[in-house]
Amino acid sequence: MLQKAQKHQLRRPPVAGGDPGEFLAAEGPADITPGAANQVTLPTAVVVNEIMYNRRPQFLPYVENPEEWIELHNKSGSDVSLAGWELGDGIRFTFPPLTVIPAGGYLCVAQDATAFAAANPGVPVAGSFSGGLSNRGERIILRDALGNAVDEVFYRDKEPWPLYTDGLGSSLELKNPEADNSVPESWAASDESIRSSWQSYTFTAAAATPIYSPTIISAANATTSFHELRMGLLEEGEVLVDDVSVRDTPIPGTELIQNGTFTGNIAPSWRILGNHQTSGIFNDAGNPALQLRASGPLLYMHNLLETSLKSGASLVPVINGRQYTISLRAKWLRGCPWLHTEFYYNKLAKTFLLTLPAQSGTPGAQNSVFVANSGPAFTGVRHSPPVPNPGEPVTVTARVTDSHGVGSVTLKYSVNGTAFVTTTMTAGTAGIFTGTIPGRVANAVTQFYMEAADAAGIPVTAVWPAAGANSRALIKVNEGAALASKQNLRLITTAADAAELASQVNMMSNHRRGCTIIHNEREIFYNGKIRLRGSMYSRSNSGQAGESIAFPADKLFRGTQRTVSVRRSGMNEIVVKHAINAAGRLPDNYNDIIHLISFRSDIVGALRWTPKTRPLVKL
């Protein structure tokens, strides 16, 4: 709501012979217009450009870092007075009189302005805000002196928003100040790898059998069944690794690693498993190295990289009591800095804390991920009907916008893994574009994404979802598995992803694969994530296999649930739970019933939803 009509002010840029204190009328309500339409022109020069909402903690000893700040950027060619402007919602700050952000300049507001100034010398900071920035997501609103919303950002900490901004070393940076900063595709994690460098790490110790260990031990105290070096990160992240070496005593000892310099193909000398499966060879300034990528923590049986210890062609077991030296070079890129190495069954385990740059983000300067033009933005994407019947065409709609105008929008789709077909989307009112996918037979799965070019002199294209052909916006033709009398939760994957999830070779993988989730045949969640859950015994058993489902951070299940789990169990537990609820005298979680339609034909049926513990449980 507008306050009483008044004009706030902009300081005129100094000019030859001019008065540096002279002011110009700013954009805002043009006049008082009783009985007529309001005449309001909102300021557009200042944008929320960078956010540090969860600074990486201090390690050894572990101490949380309270640093939080927001950077504003004046993208115009004129100075802007922020006198009386406010930042609001999760935080509160009123800009004092005479606050000016220069043309093309930057201005920060921090939770602790004094600490921020000490950590970032020379970076302008307007003061300290009250409140705080949530580590899970927060709305930030910039209002002018009349209370008009100038800019608004509602960031989140998980996909489709950048991952490495949530305590993993990066700030949240806008790619281009002209981009629509309300959509996650306009943002990226700051690139901190340019501050990182290669370091050497070494660990020497005697091998010993841990408390939990295999029972196959020879009389010579040698674990003859196991001879592997394993390596991985403790959380999501990327690091470069090279010159991996394992030597036994006496010094210099025997080299037991094959292809520790990662020359040529990584296989067969190294095996890449589970949530580390996107790792591969990277050319670092002409030198091949391992780019180790993890989408989650390593586990003792899977979700890591491993190689067999050998002398020549012979496997070499680890001998208890013998000393071994593990050495490597590593360079942190982003995310988790903890690189773990061990022999099988946690022998000679060592977690290296990789050297990290002291600074994070680019306050007071151009963002590290800046691009001259980031292309069009997509909002309000939807296909209709959510679950088409056999032969029924599907309409895909989206609002596509760009500061340069939109030149063209195309819809690309693939049916059951075939080559993508391209069709032009038709422009409608308010930037809405529409495309049609022809009807298909029952059970057919269509994957789609959109590509749009702006109307700049040299057009720039953007895609939605951001991963394009590697994303998972999916449509499945009705196969008749939904029940009209039940709440239905439908999980749609590609055939290739379903095969990988069911693969016995990589059965214990915790790497989440993309899916589309549809609730009650109406509400659509694009780019969800799914993986199997459970032990090595339950995952391989169709009667016991469970699934873990992650929803997009900006569209949670029932508005509250980030992940839900499904598993098979008997009916006894839910009968007891309903009896407790009916009694009305004992504290208990409310349980809801959902009918699951999984990508697996053997996991279809009723589920129990428990909001605060494990939301979904298969009956």
Calpha distance 374→178 (Å, rounded): 8
Domain range summary for the chain, segments of one domain joined by +? 9-190, 195-353, 377-476, 488-618
pTM: 0.87
- Please tell me the distance from the alpha carbon of residue 484 to that of residue 488, in angstroms, as a whole number: 8
Structural contact between residues 227 and 246, judged by C-beta atoms closer than 8 angstroms: no
What are the beta bridge partners of residue 287?
284
- Could you give the CA distance from residue 210 to residue 175 in angstroms, rounded to a whole number? 49
Please check whether the two domains, 9-190 and 377-476, share a CATH topology: yes
Whether residue 592 is predicted with pLDDT greater than 80 in this model: the reply is no
For 228, phi then psi, to 5°, come to -125, 145
Question: Are 326 and 350 within 8 A, CB to CB?
Answer: yes
- CATH superfamily for domain 377-476: Immunoglobulins (2.60.40.10)
Residue length, the chain?
Answer: 619
Using CA atoms, how far residue 192 sits from 69, 73, 238, 339, 363, in Å, is 17, 21, 11, 18, 13
For 465-585, strand residue ranges (E) read 473-476, 488-492, 513-519, 523-533, 546-550, 563-566
Cβ atoms of 507 and 273 within 8 Å: the answer is no
One-letter-per-residue 3-state SS of 550-598: ECCCCCCECCCECEEEECCCCCHHHHHHHHHHHHCCCCCCCCEEEEEEC
For 60-82, what is the mean pLDDT?
95
For the cut 80, the answer to whether the pLDDT of residue 586 exceeds it is no
pLDDT in tens, 79-93: 999 999 999 998 999
400-458 pLDDT, tens digit each: 999 999 999 999 999 999 999 999 999 999 999 999 999 999 999 999 999 999 999 99
User: Counting Cβ atoms within 10 Å, is residue 570 exposed (0-12), middle (13-18) or buried (19+)?
Assistant: exposed
Which two three-digit tokens encode residue 52? Answer: 């540090």
User: Mind listing the pLDDT tens digit for each residue in 215-242?
Assistant: 554 444 444 567 899 999 999 999 999 9
Which pLDDT does position 215 carry in this prediction? 57
Q: Is the pLDDT of residue 10 over 70?
A: no
Q: Are 244 and 332 in contact (CB under 8 A)?
A: no
Task: Please answer whether residues 491 and 550 qualify as being in contact, where contact means their C-beta atoms are separated by less than 8 angstroms.
Answer: no
* CATH class of the domain whose range is 9-190: mainly beta
What is the CA angle 31-36-42, rounded to 5? 45
Q: What is the DSSP-derived secondary structure letter of residue 29?
A: B
Residue whose token pair is 């260990």: 213
Count of Cβ atoms closer than 10 Å to residue 255 Cβ:
14
Q: Identify the residue whose tokens are 């950077």.
A: 71
584 pLDDT band (50/70/90 cuts)?
low
